[in-house]
Amino acid sequence: MAKTPKTEKPEPAQGDTASEIKYPRRTERRRRTRLKILEVAVRQFSKSGFSATTMQNIADEADIHVTTLFMHFNSKNELATSLANDAVDRLRDRVLAARGSRPFFEFFREEALTYAANRRSVSQPDAALWNNLRKDQELAFAWTSYEYGQKGLYAEYIASEYDIDRTTSYLADLIAALVVECLILPHERWAQAPGKRNLAEEIEQAVNLTERAAKHMLKARDPSA
């Protein structure tokens, strides 16, 4: 009598492990703890700087044991990189929701003005964190991954809208780099004298110049663009 062949069990999907299925409350508790750690890390890095902040500082403010913190993140560098990756994930969601229904430059203008509105006060944690990038090279390295992800998402958006093949043309990536830089330069000027400059006006001026330059580049590639 022939033996019935064994069937292979499918591998669980990422984020759909047996423990998550069996213990959904535990999974939700871990998720909330992770989010709390990230929120506290932003405040600590902003207030004290990346180098001066310890894992114990973060654990104390998050009201968890430091061992619990290390169960989520092996180091400060990993924690800072997770902050950047989470920011990229949120941007990706917004890009995917807008692509195909909104022109890129309309989408980016809204992103830029929202960025300005969120950073009107240097006392805000995310603004203070941004300002500390120049002081803490390790933290700046982690957030460089956000800029890299940001440029990639914008380049995909531009390439899709203007039918650009990124494997043979640098155009979409060059425009994406220009677009990201047009947020950085006004912010640097404003951070040096926040009471003397209007960040929203500075960014809007930079966005206007960038959009004109980008459309000129697209026009030079294809007069019908």
176 belongs to a structural domain: yes
If one counts the domains in the chain, the total is 1
- Which tops the pLDDT comparison, 79 or 5? 79
15 belongs to a structural domain: no
The whole-number pLDDT of residue 95 equals 96
53 belongs to a structural domain: no
Reference 96, options 153, 180, 150, 178; nearest CA is 153
For the cut 60, the answer to whether the pLDDT of residue 18 exceeds it is: no
114 belongs to a structural domain: yes
The whole-number pLDDT of residue 183 equals 84
140 belongs to a structural domain: yes
User: Residue written as tokens 């390790």?
Assistant: 138
Residue 103 burial (10 A CB sphere; 0-12, 13-18, 19+) = exposed
CATH number at residue 169: 1.10.357.10
For 137-161, write each residue's pLDDT tens digit. Answer: 666 677 788 889 999 999 999 999 9
41 belongs to a structural domain: no
69 belongs to a structural domain: no
For 46-75, write each residue's pLDDT tens digit. Answer: 778 778 889 999 999 999 999 999 999 999
Q: Please, which pLDDT band fits residue 7 given cuts at 50, 70 and 90?
A: very low
17 belongs to a structural domain: no
d(CA 57, CA 55): 5
For 166-206, write each residue's pLDDT tens digit. Answer: 999 999 999 999 999 988 888 778 777 767 778 888 889 99
Sign of CA dihedral 209, 185, 183, 218: positive
Percent of residues, the chain, with pLDDT higher than 70: 77
- Its domain, for residue 115, covers 75-221
Average of pLDDT values for 84-112?
92
